[in-house]
Amino acid sequence: GNSVTQMEGPVTLSEEAFLTINCTYTATGYPSLFWYVQYPGEGLQLLLKATKADDKGSNKGFEATYRKETTSFHLEKGSVQVSDSAVYFCALSLANTGNQFYFGTGTSLTVIP
């Protein structure tokens, strides 16, 4: 089947620390991959995406590279800020399933000054 597995949280980091949130996927076809972010009390917002192997998505200092050989899409940021505190969701979409979306369980990040 199709699924997304991401690292358990919560994650707590000091400001300016390096962030990695692991995400791996299982897909029956060739998926598009996404990272969404959810700030407290809000809906999800797209952070970045990649649609084919070796593509790198980037936004607001965050990056993730679509690795087909390891079926991974790990999220990284070199220097986190307090404002990055949120819940991060990895997701995949498969057009051949009528555009169903599959989300990971979410990873809560807290950045402390």
Residues that bind other proteins (CB under 8 A): 4, 31-32, 36, 41-46, 49, 51, 89, 91, 93-95, 98-106
For tokens 């050989």, name the residue.
69
| C-beta of 17 vs 110, nearer to other proteins | 110
| C-beta of 51 vs 83, nearer to other proteins | 51
Pairing of strands 23-26, 19-21: unpaired
Full DSSP string of 54-89: T-EEEETTEEEE-BTTTTB--EEESS--GGG-EEEE
| C-beta of 12 vs 105, nearer to other proteins | 105
Give dist(CA 58, CA 93) in Å, integer: 18
Query: Min. distance of Cβ 13 from other proteins in angstroms?
Result: 21
Query: Min. distance of Cβ 99 from other proteins in angstroms?
Result: 4
